[in-house]
Structure 1
Amino acid sequence: MKKIFSLLTVLLFALGFSQKLSNIQSGEELNYRIHYGILNAGTASLTALQTTYKGQPHFYVKGYGRSTGAVRAFFKVDDIYESFININTGLPSFYVRNVREGGYTQHLETVFNHNNQTLILTDKETNSIRNLNSVKGVQDMLSAFYYLRSLDSLDLKVGSVRKLNVWIDDEMFPFQLRVAGVENVKTKFGHINCLKIVPQVISGRVFKDKEGVTLWVTNDRNYVPVLVQAQLAVGSLKASIDSYKNVKYPLNFF
């Protein structure tokens, strides 16, 4: 299970150019239940609050993932992700990844300078600081998720592909999302019409193939993820929506 739970958390949270965050409202909270095979493996949550960062309107977004039950007994996970996202551009200003996964820990902070396409990476465990080159429109793992949710419906037509550069840990990764179709998905609240999105991921070490992950988001202006399924090299993971509140537009379950 080492790092597998964290990978699904990344896919929930991440999953360009500037995009105003118009479909998110302050106080939104999304909670998910995570299963590894038949095991109840953990929970993940996302919250968004409007605030000010360096004099500019931002969303302070926090993602928290933890293992639960029998999984936590032999593999304790407590992952915290934080991001300050500029509301007018949809780009991250400050990003934190602070994770504990079994015996593995990492605490990184990143400051983004989008004007000159650089970033400052601080490793809080080693007290080291690096100044690195970036690229135009770079997203972090949380801001990428909210960027996707703020796109216009014309940008998420079936067959369309969105490409992003996402800052993960201490590296930049090209990321691609393909809208594969429209499906009705069963949830604990009933069925809901969804866009089926397939992220392109690195195959071999964890996932069975480069399109071994599928994400279903509501086919409305919210684009709330309701289900994620990942076929791993060993076993499978599933995350399903468990509760939500303060979503900007009504969710039409049937």
Structure 2
Amino acid sequence: MQRKKSLHNFKILYLLFMLIASGCGTLSRYKEIKPKRIEEIEIKKALPELRKGEKLTYEVYWKMIPVGIVTAEVKDIVEIEGKMAYHFIGTARSNKWLNIFFKVDDYVESFLDKENLLSIKHIAIRNEGRYHAHMVSEYNWQEKILRFRNLVDGTDKEFPLPSKAVDELSAFYYFRMQEITPGNPLEFVVNQAEKNWLVKIGITSFGKMNISGVGVFDSFVVEPQLYLGNKFFNKGKAFVYVSNDEKRIPLMVKIDVDIPIIGSILAILRKAE
């Protein structure tokens, strides 16, 4: 029972990461610039479209120890079900050190309608310790039905959908294309099978981010908050450091987890292609 609860928390934290730097000051440094009022922060307008071929690579740290690599890629723009769609690919792999204790080898694909920014299809192959799953989610927005299949255990279910939602990988990109202003949180729904999370993202600060080997960026920090129904998920906090330019690249993600064994997780941009 305890293992299932821990795994459930891990999945939610993975969602927080796909959205969204203490301990690694030699790798990255953030200098906050305090305006008189947060409303005075000027956020640059985001690009209306994503660039095909973009690939972001992050190194993940746990308690200052490197534990793995996460990538997020705009693989292509393709036609699926008669619609032009972004094709996203995300991977998460633990390194040799973490493999001794808990091996992670995840691969996810998403197809996001390029016009209305609704998820069309989501594929997730997860290998996390002893947990293994191959899940396919297909979104029927005309009937507001999600067909969910787990090809490992044979699960085949249908769940109702809200009026709009994106899958967990597409949420990473959806956020980057939306306008966000200080004092006015961005809200959208992220779907995970039968669960539909309301995500609220507000700006908390503005400053300069210096990442060793990558560069110096004007940036702002956002804090995603998750709600399921009216219940707030309060198992920890996440802060995403975002470049304040038209690309809106997530530069660093810091997650403080209210789980003693995990504690704090940090992901830092290592390469932007």
**For the superposition of Structure 1 and Structure 2, which TM-score range results when normalised by the shorter chain?**
0.7 to 0.9
Please give the alpha-carbon distance, in whole angstroms, between the structure 2 residues aligned to 1:110 and 1:220.
33
- Does structure 1 residue 26 correspond to structure 2 residue 52? yes
Residue in 1 that maps onto 2:182: 158
Q: CA deviation at 1:199?
A: 0.6
- Does structure 1 residue 47 correspond to structure 2 residue 81? no
Please give the alpha-carbon distance, in whole angstroms, between the structure 2 residues aligned to 1:24 and 1:121.
27
Deviates further, 171-180 or 84-93: 171-180
Q: CA deviation at 1:39?
A: 1.0
> Alignment partner for residue 246 of structure 2, among 207, 221, 224?
221
Residue in 2 that maps onto 1:237: 265
Question: Aligned residues: percent identity?
Answer: 22
Please give the alpha-carbon distance, in whole angstroms, between the structure 2 residues aligned to 1:190 and 1:146.
22
Secondary structure, counterpart of 1:156 in structure 2: coil
Cα 1:22–1:123 change in 2 (3 A) is: same
Q: CA deviation at 1:190?
A: 2.5
Once the two structures are superposed, residues 5-59 of structure 1 have per-residue CA deviations (whole angstroms, 9 ceiling, x without a partner) of 75554333233xxxxx833111110000000012101110011111111222111
Deviates further, 219-228 or 106-115: 106-115
> Alignment partner for residue 92 of structure 2, among 44, 65, 82?
65
Please give the alpha-carbon distance, in whole angstroms, between the structure 2 residues aligned to 1:178 and 1:7.
19
Q: CA deviation at 1:142?
A: 1.4
- Does structure 1 residue 88 correspond to structure 2 residue 115? yes
- Does structure 1 residue 179 correspond to structure 2 residue 210? no
Verify the 8 A CA contact 2:145 2:161 in the aligned structure 1: yes
TM-score normalized by the length of structure 2: 0.79
What is the letter of the counterpart of residue 87 of structure 1? K
Verify the 8 A CA contact 1:9 1:44 in the aligned structure 2: no
Cα 1:65–1:228 change in 2 (3 A) is: same
Residue in 1 that maps onto 2:158: 131
Q: CA deviation at 1:125?
A: 1.5
What is the letter of the counterpart of residue 109 of structure 1? V
- Does structure 1 residue 35 correspond to structure 2 residue 35? no
Residue in 2 that maps onto 1:203: 234
Cα 1:6–1:191 change in 2 (3 A) is: farther
Deviates further, 162-171 or 99-108: 162-171
Please give the alpha-carbon distance, in whole angstroms, between the structure 2 residues aligned to 1:160 and 1:39.
36
Q: CA deviation at 1:65?
A: 0.2
> Alignment partner for residue 107 of structure 1, among 134, 144, 157?
134
Q: CA deviation at 1:166?
A: 0.8
Please give the alpha-carbon distance, in whole angstroms, between the structure 1 residues aligned to 2:225 and 2:111.
26
Secondary structure, counterpart of 1:13 in structure 2: helix
Please give the alpha-carbon distance, in whole angstroms, between the structure 2 residues aligned to 1:71 and 1:169.
28
> Alignment partner for residue 14 of structure 1, among 13, 19, 35?
19
Verify the 8 A CA contact 1:59 1:84 in the aligned structure 2: yes
Verify the 8 A CA contact 1:214 1:230 in the aligned structure 2: yes
Residue in 2 that maps onto 1:251: none
Verify the 8 A CA contact 1:159 1:181 in the aligned structure 2: no
What is the letter of the counterpart of residue 96 of structure 1? I
5+ residue gaps, structure 1? 16-20, 246-254
TM-score normalized by the length of structure 1: 0.85
